[in-house]
Amino acid sequence: MKRLNEALDRMTPPSVEWREKAYERLRQQARPAGSLGVLEEVGARLAGIARTLDVHLTRKVIVTCAGDHGVCAEGVSLFPAEVTPQMVYNFVKGGASINVLARHAGAEVKVADLGVNWDLEPDLPIFHKKIRKGTDNLARGPAMTRDAAVQSIEAGIEIVGELLADGPVDLLGTGDMGIGNTTPSTAIIAAFSGLPVDQLTGRGTGVDDEGLRRKVAVIEKGLAINQPDPRDALDVLAKVGGFEIGGLAGLVIGAAANGIPVVCDGFIATAGALVACELAPVARDYLFTSHYSVEVGHRYMLTRLDRKPLLDLQFRLGEGTGAAAAMELIDMATRILADIKTFEEVAIQDAQA
């Protein structure tokens, strides 16, 4: 756990002083106070993180973490697990939804193999961080060992370090790929919240009513068999999580430890963020959430994180697509803060009298 502990030790809160300076400038701008709503809060939070009123998000990167899940053997997804490696190749070729949206947002897309059940070529231009070829079936025992859970988180932290070796990262986005991964994500929020599984479970790739009942039963069985401890985020991840979810948690921790704001995608990416913030509450101060997922359990995750997403586009895709869409608004928030003139700067007198 050396790398994880080092990252946790390096993590410090954003600057309250710079955030307040940002709010003061926003209040003095030549427009009605608060008239740009949530984007004002985003800009002020970014100022606190970057410790400047003129934040520039020059390099934006979205990391899509991929992994397979043994629980697919229980029939919880419409799609076969073979789709996961096929989508990894599509990401690399630039033909997937995330590639298109990221290009529009001016962001790089990087793919990380945390646990794809396939022998991906060693020279494939991705982050090769495979823990194992897929997790075990959480309905029949722990999804992974505790050591593997730590390894998956540390892989995400390593990825942040490797990105920084190529130059500064100003905004990191997180996304996922893994057939069946709404099942472990639902199990994670059920374990932390203690809420009934049927209240938290969505249809994932679009299972019918019978499939939904089966999915609920599988998650309930996994929780009953494994008894994940909600006070121990590593235990929750190990008992009912996924390798790519651990990698996503590591990305959030690695970003926060390096003072980088991070915007997470939908349900699965938020599951990773939730694990990260349970381990390191300070990480939440660096976290932005992109959109409301159609998955019903997502809103309970967001409530626990006390984060409101920027968008509600009825997305249910993953990959980092919501993060890419939100990046444009986050970028916009930096310009609102820095570029809109104050009443004093444009010589408007007594405007707020």
Which of 209, 347, 192 has the alpha carbon at shortest distance from 279?
192
Report residue 246 CA to chain centroid gap: 11
Closest CA relative to residue 200, chosen from 130, 290, 298, 90: 298
> Positive or negative CA dihedral for 277, 283, 285, 289?
negative
Question: CA 126, CA 116: separation in Å to the nearest integer?
Answer: 12
Largest CA distance in the chain: 71
Angstrom distances, CA of residue 131 to CA of 63, 155, 336: 17, 9, 43
Number of H helices, E strands in the chain: 14, 6
d(CA 277, CA 256): 10
Report the C-alpha gap between 171 and 180 in whole angstroms: 28
Place of tokens 């959430």: 289
The answer to whether 103 and 118 are in contact (CB under 8 A) is no
What are the backbone angles phi and psi of residue 192, rounded to the nearest 5°? -70, -40
**Catalytic annotation, residues:** 319
Structure tokens at 209: 């009513």
